[in-house]
Amino acid sequence: MVTQELALKVLVRQRHMTYESFCREWDRTASALDDRLKGRFPGHAQYYRWLRGDLVNGRPYPDACRMLEALFPGWSVERLFSPYVASGRTGESQLISPELPEPSGYADVANDQSSRLEQIEILRQEMNQAIGAGAVAEATLEDWERGAIRYARATRDRPPTVLVGSISNDLAELRLLISGHRSASALRRLIRVMAQLSGLMCLEFCKLDDRSAFQRWARTARLAANEAGDPETISWILAQEAYGIYYAGDLPEAIDVARSAYEAVRTPCVGRALAAALEARAHAAMGRDRETREALDRAEVVLGRLDEDSLTPSAFGYNESSFRFHEGNAYTHLRNVTSALKAQDRAMELCSRDDYTDWAMVRLDRADCIAYSGDITSGLEYATGVMSDLSADERNGIIIARGRKILRALPAKEQKLPVAVGFHELLMLPSGESQNGE
């Protein structure tokens, strides 16, 4: 006995539609039919129930019926959810599922054998189609991976307020791609990209000093990294999480997470270098000289073993410029002015102005060192110059928080100095305003 497939399933297959391409076609059709239906495509599970004909009320809801008839002109909802019958149109043929016929007797052996072979060939073809359904071309996979790299580079010179929207849009599309995908090997690559993009969202919300959003994205990034099963990605994600915890002020927890990131992989990688450097900064903020130096030594050793691709100026990279900033920051916390100034000099030499976060943070460390040396007025003037050179979007978040930390560290008497009052007013400007009101 042979059975016929549901017409909707046949038509979807004839058009080589995956779930994500179905959703894109739905939105394009909705733009012309009824704009309020955009984004109201079926969920992944509902979509596959439709293809099986598994309908609770015998047919989809009215709006979905309108959309399906618009997506498949000439096909009513009743016909879409009935067995497929060829209409005689070009390109429309009856497809029969590969159920093997029963042998009929010795007189018809030759015919039966031929029929059986045909059915076996249909079975093979449909197996190939099942294996390849939802498959993503190698070029598409590489494009997603390159896209993550481009975003990682953009974190150096674009404000987080710009990037979070772009990255989140790509994550929404990537989610659809993953939900309709079947190939295990390619799926791991896509989930790795999802982990990387989620880690970049974590980084950007850390820069914005949005701690609740950072924590949520850290959890998502961790889940994706663990699912991808790539130790270097796991290490990098944990290092990003450690930085967010550090800027939130939980130094012991930051050290613990940084150590987990360092130990997640045994080979030299960016995550290990970032984790050791962050651990050094957290120890220094707690006044631990020996632990700080040990962690800095580990970071420098890993840095010296990174390959060329890992040394690029990117959120996915780590180079001497980054290390010298971290080293200088650690020594600034320890109030080891001589070592801090030496590291800052090298960081300033290496760090481009386009990399505005590190550029500003190194100079705010310099302002702290000047104040530590006894010249509070000059230190505050230096810090004011740094902040004034940044746009409102650039100085938003952890950079402003760093400036406020400089102010809070001053004795109460010095906080009333005119230069301190001016610096405070600059830090209090709403986002989008500059000091001269432009």
| pLDDT-wise least confident of 45-49, 107-111, 228-232, 246-250 | 107-111
The structure tokens listed for 156 are 């150096």
How far is residue 392's CA from residue 433's CA, in Å, rounded to a whole number?
Answer: 6
The structure tokens listed for 3 are 């059975």
pTM of the model: 0.68
Instruction: Say if residues 201 and 217 touch (Cβ distance below 8 Å).
Output: yes
What pLDDT shows up at residue 327?
A: 97
Residue 434 has pLDDT above 50, yes or no: no
How far is residue 82's CA from residue 162's CA, in Å, rounded to a whole number?
Answer: 48
How far is residue 393's CA from residue 165's CA, in Å, rounded to a whole number?
Answer: 15
In percent, the amount of the chain with pLDDT more than 90 equals: 44
Residue 276 has pLDDT above 70, yes or no: yes
289-305 helix and 270-285 helix, angle to the nearest 10 degrees: 160
How far is residue 201's CA from residue 206's CA, in Å, rounded to a whole number?
Answer: 8
Radius of gyration of the chain (CA): 30
How far is residue 426's CA from residue 381's CA, in Å, rounded to a whole number?
Answer: 12
Give the sign of the dihedral formed by CA 44, CA 48, CA 54, CA 59: positive
SS3 336: coil
User: What digits encode the pLDDT tens for the residues 94-122?
Assistant: 333 333 333 334 344 445 555 666 666 56
Instruction: Say if residues 126 and 98 touch (Cβ distance below 8 Å).
Output: yes
State phi, psi for 180 to the nearest 5 degrees: -105, 15
Residue 55 has pLDDT above 80, yes or no: no
SS3 374: coil
How far is residue 359's CA from residue 142's CA, in Å, rounded to a whole number?
Answer: 32
State phi, psi for 11 to the nearest 5 degrees: -65, -40
Instruction: Give me the chain's average pLDDT, please.
Output: 83
Of 306, 312, 271, whose CA–CA distance to 153 is shortest? 312
How far is residue 360's CA from residue 366's CA, in Å, rounded to a whole number?
Answer: 10
Q: Which residues, 6 or more positions from 76, have their beta carbon under 8 angstroms from its beta carbon?
A: 69
